């Protein structure tokens, strides 16, 4: 049995809850599996998941900024620059020199949770990553594209080689399909895909399949140099959808309870993709035959977290440690009801339970 389960939390649509889900799942999984270890790799330059994990609000922002401004940043950028500047023949740096023990920054977090912190410089750095991936192969065995794309896969492997615990790896991603998102796709075996109950989620679901697996027939001009084509040519497997999270966000929807977490349109699109290409999804004991079976097997609804979610993210506190009553958020007094917190926790636990 592999010691690692790796999941990228990805949908190439913004604001669907990727970072929030990364934060809650990482903290909860670590809490209920104290004998295992959890690694979050933040491959989004916005670094929202890192900020929440490191204390939320301005504490979290300051902690991320502190790590980004080390002489060698203790972040995804520090690791990437060291590896790329060393070149493909160089020994890998020690991954633990770059990992942050989350509990030492934020005592609310479990002790078995580690972070390779996000960094805003990932965005300005991306042309350098692209250039390294596109470098000419100077010997027959060199494959610069593959070597660069697998940097975080090797990072995970070297973490596990040093610490033989069982690891859950969660990679937070950016909605753009930038080079660093390609690196995230190349590092994870599976996907947790949050979707909202609106039409744009259905469109985004189709776009995800094209980005990962390519278009049929391929585009006559750029079809040969897409990530999907290059991954195929280099024998790189792309991650499979493991669970679709129907996120009941209220912000664009009005009262979310009026809608199914996963809209019929999105479910139909995803089910059609599943029927045409079952290997785009992780396998189950029995194949889903109907859209309802598909929803039951592959999707989990996430309720609207409301004030509980806002306070948890603002204070960097896992839901299980969130106390009812009044909290100060951005100078305002907000009220949290314990019953609501428990309901949110049940929803997160249902999602955590799928990460087997």
Residues that bind ligand ATP (CB under 6 A): 14-20, 44, 46, 48, 175, 247-249, 251, 302, 304-306, 309, 313
Nearer to ligand ATP, 6 or 11 (CB): 11
Alpha carbon distance 195, 55 (integer Å): 26
Q: Closer to ligand ATP at the Cβ: 251 or 290?
A: 251
Kindly state the DSSP code that residue 34 receives in the 8-state scheme. T
The least distance separating ligand ATP from the CB of residue 49, rounded to whole angstroms, comes to 7
22 scored as a contact of Mg ion (CB under 5 A): no
Indicate which of Mg ion, ligand ATP, none lies near residue 201 (CB less than 5 to 8 Å, by partner kind): none
Q: Single out the segment in contact with Mg ion by CB under 5 A; choices: 10-18, 33-41, 56-64, 71-79.
A: 10-18
Q: What is the DSSP letter of 320?
A: G
Contact 312, 24 (CB under 8 A): yes
DSSP codes joined into one string, 41-108: EEE-TT-HHHHHHTTSHHHHHHHHHHHHTSSS-SBHHHHHHHHHHH-TTSPPPPGGGT-EEHHHH-TT
DSSP H or E stretch at residue 282: none
Asked if 132 contacts 319 with a C-beta cutoff of 8 angstroms, the reply is no
Supply 74's token pair.
């203790």
- Quote the CA–CA distance of 260 and 303 in Å, as a whole number: 10
Q: How far is the CB of 90 from Mg ion (least distance, A)?
A: 32
User: In degrees to the nearest 10, what's the CA dihedral of 15, 293, 288, 266?
Assistant: -30
Q: How far is the CB of 205 from Mg ion (least distance, A)?
A: 18
If the CB atoms of residues 68 and 159 are measured against ligand ATP, the closer one turns out to be 68
Q: Pick between residue 83 and residue 169 the one whose CB is nearest to ligand ATP.
A: 169
In this complex, which beta carbon is closest to ligand ATP, that of residue 146 or of residue 300? 300
Shortest CB 313 distance to ligand ATP, Å: 6
Burial letters 255-288, b for 16+ CB under 10 A, else e: ebeebebbbeebbebbbebbeeeeebbbeeeeeb
- Minimum separation from the CB atom of position 113 to ligand ATP (A): 18
Site for Mg ion contains 13 (CB under 5 A): no
CB count in 10 Å sphere of residue 243: 20
Question: How far is residue 123's CA from residue 68's CA, in Å, rounded to a whole number?
Answer: 13
Minimum distance, C-beta of residue 16 to Mg ion, in the bound complex (Å): 9
Number of residues in contact with Mg ion, rule: CB under 5 A?
Answer: 3
Q: Is 233 helix (H, G, I), strand (E, B) or coil?
A: helix
Candidates 6, 12, 19, 150: give the one binding Mg ion (CB under 5 A).
Answer: 19
Residue 60 binds which entry of Mg ion, ligand ATP, none, with Cβ cut-offs from 5 to 8 Å by kind?
Answer: none
Q: Which does 305 bind (CB under 5 to 8 A by kind): Mg ion, ligand ATP, none?
A: ligand ATP
Over the window 28 to 67, marking each residue x when it contacts Mg ion by CB under 5 A and - when it does not, the resulting string is: --------------------x-------------------
> How are the residues of the chain apportioned to helix, strand and coil, as percentages rounded to the nearest 5?
50, 15, 35
CB of 270 to ligand ATP, least distance (A): 18
Q: How far is the CB of 250 from ligand ATP (least distance, A)?
A: 6
The residue whose two tokens read 């993709």 is 273
Is residue 18 a contact point for Mg ion (CB under 5 A)? yes
Task: Sketch the per residue contact string, 253 through 282, with Mg ion: x for CB under 5 A, - otherwise.
Answer: ------------------------------
- Helical H segments across 70-222, by residue range: 76-86, 102-105, 122-133, 144-149, 151-162, 179-187, 199-213
Q: Which is nearer to Mg ion, 78 or 194 (CB)?
A: 194
Our CB check for ligand ATP shows the closer of 83 and 243 to be 243
Which stretches of the chain bind Mg ion, using CB under 5 A?
18-19, 48
């Amino acid at each position: 049995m592999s010691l690692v389960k790796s999941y990228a939390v990805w949908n190439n649509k913004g604001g669907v809850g990727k970072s929030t889900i990364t934060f809650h799942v990482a903290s909860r999984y670590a809490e209920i599996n104290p004998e295992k270890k959890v690694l979050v790799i933040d491959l989004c330059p916005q670094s929202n998941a890192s900020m929440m994990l490191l204390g939320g609000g301005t504490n979290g922002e300051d902690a991320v900024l502190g790590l980004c401004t080390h002489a060698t940043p203790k972040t995804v950028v520090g690791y990437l620059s060291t590896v790329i500047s060393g070149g493909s023949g160089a020994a890998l740096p020690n991954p633990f020199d770059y990992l942050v023990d989350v509990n030492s920054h934020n005592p609310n977090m479990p002790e078995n949770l580690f972070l390779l912190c996000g960094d805003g410089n990932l965005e300005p750095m991306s042309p350098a990553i692209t250039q390294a991936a596109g470098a000419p192969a100077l010997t027959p065995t060199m494959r610069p594209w593959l070597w660069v794309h697998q940097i975080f896969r090797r990072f995970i492997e070297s973490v596990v080689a040093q610490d033989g615990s069982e690891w859950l790896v969660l990679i937070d991603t950016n909605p753009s399909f930038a080079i660093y998102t390609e690196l995230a796709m190349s590092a994870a075996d599976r996907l947790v895909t949050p979707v909202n109950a609106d039409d744009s989620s259905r469109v985004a679901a189709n776009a995800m399949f094209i980005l990962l697996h390519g278009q049929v027939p391929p585009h006559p001009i750029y079809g040969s140099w897409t990530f999907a084509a290059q991954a195929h040519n280099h024998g790189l497997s792309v991650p499979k959808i493991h669970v679709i999270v129907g996120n009941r966000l209220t912000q664009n929807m009005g009262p979310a309870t009026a809608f199914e977490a996963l809209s019929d349109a999105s479910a139909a699109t995803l089910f059609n993709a599943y029927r045409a290409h079952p290997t785009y999804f992780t396998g189950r004991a029995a194949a889903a035959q109907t859209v309802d079976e598909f929803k039951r097997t592959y999707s989990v609804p996430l309720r609207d977290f409301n004030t509980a979610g806002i306070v948890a993210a603002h204070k960097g506190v896992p839901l299980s440690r969130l106390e009812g009553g009044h909290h100060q958020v951005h100078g305002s007094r907000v009220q949290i009801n314990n019953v609501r917190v428990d309901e949110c926790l049940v929803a997160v636990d249902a999602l955590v339970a799928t990460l087997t």
